[in-house]
């Protein structure tokens, strides 16, 4: 299964990104994703380049790149960065795609201090393997209450 990483958002199928998030992090409207992703400091998209689309008729299936992973950063490019929206379709998880996307973003952020949030406790070991640590003074506003400590 060849996976291709793409660093820009030219030609992105926003419906496909919306579907990816609906299967992982929760629903985001394609229009909203286009607005927020266009303001990102860095983006990374993972495509399965051998994906065969199901045939619409009796004709053979057609090979079409399938969006299987995504992540982005918000940053000043110098001091701080926030990595958000890290997602890989469930059928493609545990194949190194998330690691490759995260490593690409980390490398591009250089010496920036990086903050990220995770919606699932089960993802903590994944982020720790990439060198992340829990910070005792991180504060949030506007996130869902189930992730809060107080």
- List of domains in the chain: 3-147 (3.40.630.30)
Q: Which residues contact 46 (CB under 8 A, 6 or more apart)?
A: 3, 4, 5, 6, 67, 68, 69, 70, 88, 92, 97, 100, 101
Q: Note the pLDDT of residue 59.
A: 52
Q: Which residue has the higher pLDDT, 119 or 94?
A: 94
Q: Note the pLDDT of residue 149.
A: 81
The answer on pLDDT for 63 being more than 70 is: no
Question: Mean per-residue pLDDT for 35-60?
Answer: 81
Three-class DSSP category at 101: helix
The answer on pLDDT for 27 being more than 60 is: yes
How many CB atoms are located within 10 Å of the residue 2 CB?
9
Of the chain, the percentage scoring pLDDT greater than 70 comes to: 91
For tokens 């545990």, the residue is 94
Q: Note the pLDDT of residue 38.
A: 97
Lowest-confidence region among 20-24, 56-60, 72-76, 78-82: 56-60
Lowest-confidence region among 29-33, 61-65, 77-81: 61-65
Taking CB atoms within 8 Å and a gap of at least 24, the contacts of 123-131 are 126/98, 126/99, 127/102, 129/99, 130/99, 130/102, 130/103, 130/106, 131/106
Beta-bridge partners for 87: 70
Average pLDDT, the chain: 90
Question: Mean per-residue pLDDT for 26-37?
Answer: 96
The answer on pLDDT for 82 being more than 90 is: yes
Three-class DSSP category at 137: coil
Residue 131, token pair as written in the block: 């060198």
CA 124 vs. chain centroid, Å, equals: 15
């Amino acid at each position: 299964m060849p996976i291709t990483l793409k660093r820009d958002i030219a030609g992105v199928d926003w419906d496909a990104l919306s579907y990816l998030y609906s299967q992982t992090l929760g629903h985001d409207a394609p229009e909203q994703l286009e607005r927020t992703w266009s303001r990102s400091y860095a983006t990374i998209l993972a495509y399965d380049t051998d994906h065969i689309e199901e045939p619409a008729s009796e004709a053979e299936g057609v090979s079409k790149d399938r969006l299987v992973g995504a992540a982005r950063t918000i940053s000043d490019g110098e001091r701080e960065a926030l990595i958000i929206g890290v997602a890989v379709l469930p059928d493609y998880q545990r194949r190194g795609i998330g690691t490759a996307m995260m490593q690409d973003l980390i490398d591009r952020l250089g010496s920036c201090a990086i903050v990220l949030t995770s919606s699932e406790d089960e993802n903590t070991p994944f982020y720790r393997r990439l060198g992340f640590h829990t910070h005792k003074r991180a504060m949030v506003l506007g996130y869902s209450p189930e992730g809060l400590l107080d």
